[in-house]
Amino acid sequence: AQSVTQPDIHITVSEGASLELRCNYSYGATPYLFWYVQSPGQGLQLLLKYFSGDTLVQGIKGFEAEFKRSQSSFNLRKPSVHWSDAAEYFCAVGITGNQFYFGTGTSLTVIP
Amino acid sequence: DTAVSQTPKYLVTQMGNDKSIKCEQNLGHDTMYWYKQDSKKFLKIMFSYNNKELIINETVPNRFSPKSPDKAHLNLHINSLELGDSAVYFCASSLEGWSEKLFFGSGTQLSVL
């Protein structure tokens, strides 16, 4: 079945540490790939997206993501996490037409 | 100045009631959406709508209906509310389809008692 998977339900990192959030998809073709962030009590905000070209994508708030076709992955990274990064992170994939799906989300806790 | 605004922010009601959630976007976008986020944070698309077509997720009960008086508004009507309808409902919009950036409202927390 086609799907987008975020294997980590919850991640805790120390402030200043590096971060990597995993996202895997299972579709026949390369989908369009997105990362959204949801701060507590808020709607989602787009961090970055990948359609084609350079597989390393830069986003807002110091985030980047790398598309790896061989691994069907689009992992989100940040070199140094800030306390304000604590939020829910959603990977999303779009195929064609109306096929657009969010992953199940990864909750990030940042400890001082 | 809020790009996508939805009201009310909180809605508490009894089973069997009919309620509406309003959504307005001032971005000039062509496509609007309603998403349901359950207690496990899972996001499910309910509807997408532009001035050309309404796409309904077939798993959404017909007690839910979107109403769009104009391009800037997409309201959500829910009839005969059930306990399982309790969730956070998000309105969103985009310039044209999901390939463009989705702008989300801040959500409506619906509690059905």
What is the pLDDT at residue B33?
Answer: 93
Q: Under 8 Å CB-to-CB from A24, ≥6 apart: which residues? A: A4, A5, A6, A7, A71, A72, A73, A74
Q: Which of B41, B46, B57, B96 to mutate to test the interface with A (most CBs of A within 10 A)?
A: B41
Q: Which segments of chain B have a pLDDT < 70?
A: 1, 52
B-chain CB neighbours of A43 within 8 Å are 4, 90, 92, 103-107
| CB of A84 less than 8 A from some CB of B | no
Of B108, B101, B112, the closest CA to residue B46 belongs to B108
A-chain CB neighbours of B48 within 8 Å are 98
pLDDT in tens, B91-103: 999 987 777 789 9
**Euclidean distance between CA atoms A77 and A27, whole angstroms:** 23
| CB of A46 less than 8 A from some CB of B | yes
**Euclidean distance between CA atoms B80 and B95, whole angstroms:** 33
A-chain CB neighbours of B106 within 8 Å are 41-43
What is the pLDDT at residue B1?
Answer: 64
The secondary structure of B61-91 as a DSSP string is -TTEEEE-SSTTB-EEEE-S--GGG-EEEEE
Of A6, A61, A11, the closest CA to residue A33 belongs to A6
Q: Which of A3, A10, A30, A100 to mutate to test the interface with B (most CBs of B within 10 A)?
A: A100
**Euclidean distance between CA atoms A55 and A36, whole angstroms:** 18
Smallest Cα distance from A8 to chain B, Å: 13
10 Å CB burial of residue B105 (0-12, 13-18, 19+) is: buried
| CB of A24 less than 8 A from some CB of B | no
10 Å CB burial of residue A62 (0-12, 13-18, 19+) is: middle
Mean pLDDT by 10 residues, chain A (112 residues): 86 97 87 94 94 93 95 96 97 83 95 94
What is the pLDDT at residue A100?
Answer: 85
Q: Is A32 in contact with A52 (CB distance < 8 Å)?
A: no
Residue B33 CB: number of other CB atoms within 10 A?
25
Q: Is A44 in contact with A37 (CB distance < 8 Å)?
A: yes
What is the pLDDT at residue B91?
Answer: 96
Tokens of A5: 């998977």
**Euclidean distance between CA atoms B34 and B44, whole angstroms:** 9
**Euclidean distance between CA atoms B92 and B31, whole angstroms:** 8
A-chain CB neighbours of B92 within 8 Å are 43-44
What is the pLDDT at residue B23?
Answer: 97
Report which DSSP code applies to B17. Answer: -
CB contact under 8 A, A100 and B4: no
Residue A35 CB: number of other CB atoms within 10 A?
26
B-chain CB neighbours of A107 within 8 Å are 41
